[in-house]
Amino acid sequence: MELQCTRPTCPRPLNHFPDLDDNTTLKSASQKFCITCGMPQILAGRYLPLKLLGRGGFGAAFLAIDRYTPTMRQCVVKQFQPSGNLTPEQLKLAQRLFEREAEVLESLGNRHPQIPNLLAFFELDVPSRTPGETERFFYLVQEYINGKNMEELLEQQGAMSEVDVTQMMEEILKVLKFVHDNGSIHRDIKPSNIMKHRDGQYFLLDFGAVKQVTTTASIAGQPPGRSTGIYSRGYAPPEQVAGSVVYPATDLYALAVTCITLLTGKQPHDLFDPLSNSFNWRSETQVSDRLAAILNRLLLPAPNQRFQSAEQVLDALHTCLLYTS
């Protein structure tokens, strides 16, 4: 069995352990260590990282198996791994966002079928490669969604049809209604955070940037309800970019940008006209006037000009589907 070392600085992270190909040995082995850097390979005694899925601003994600399940269930191990030279305050915020993702997955994932379940959250202290020092790593383990995210599908297939985008939009709106009804704002809706399972169902991922709109505690000096500056350029609306108060309409704007990106096959910066401060996307695709009207309203710069809830958008979308069916 080949395992992927999770130490960020390991120069040769792939390790081959032939004895783990035997199920009995796999379930009973006390530990395995990276041949190059000595990092433990069996995390929390049960999770074995098989390959790197990707890296982001705050960490890395690995496909892993849980050896203590009957079917060796696949899962995703996410490691807190901030990139760049962060100030102590920024590092503290980044770590808090990682912890928040685990908290949100635990509170929401187990209650909605289209949000991944949290399986574990733990710290790991290991000897550093520098003698006499110790390194601490933070991990969360979540349900593995077997499919591709919308960014990957866009790269593979090109611009998508109105039918496909409308179906995705409707499903994600239902997830957002649940998230908003539970007092949270996702704040990072974009194609790479929407996964299409092999069976066709859509999932909403990456809850690290979630804002608890009902909280009374401030994070890193930010007043409650205001943005912490965590957003994806091009998808975030003006109020989020400005660090102002965020609303359910903030997520709806980002979902609309995601939709026009998928419909046109073009990135947000290619569709946005700074002179008019609006998106010029309609000429890049063929969609019904009713869907275009819904998306254009969601893309308005002022949050009070947009639909105010996912439920309102769903109602408008259902009316649109009635007229086009």
Element (H, E) at 147: strand 147-149
What b/e sequence results for 239-265 when a residue is b if at least 16 CB atoms lie within 10 Å of its CB, and e otherwise?
bbeeeebbbbbbbbbbbbbbbbbbbbe
Rounded Cα gap, residues 211 and 186, in angstroms = 7
Q: Determine contact, residues 10/57, Cβ cutoff 8 Å.
A: no
Q: Which residue has the tokens 């009995």?
A: 24
Which one-letter amino acid corresponds to residue 79? Q
Which residues, 6+ apart, have CB-to-CB distance to 284 below 8 Å?
263, 264, 265, 266, 271
* SS3 category, 104: helix
188 is catalytic: yes
| Catalytically annotated residue among 188, 251, 289, 315 | 188
CA distance 67 to 20: 11
Burial 176-214 (b: 16+ CB within 10 A, else e): bbbbbeeebbbbbbbbbbbbbeeeeebbbbbbbbbbbbe
In this structure, are residues 10 and 126 in contact, taking their beta carbons and an 8 Å threshold? Answer: no
Active site residues: 188
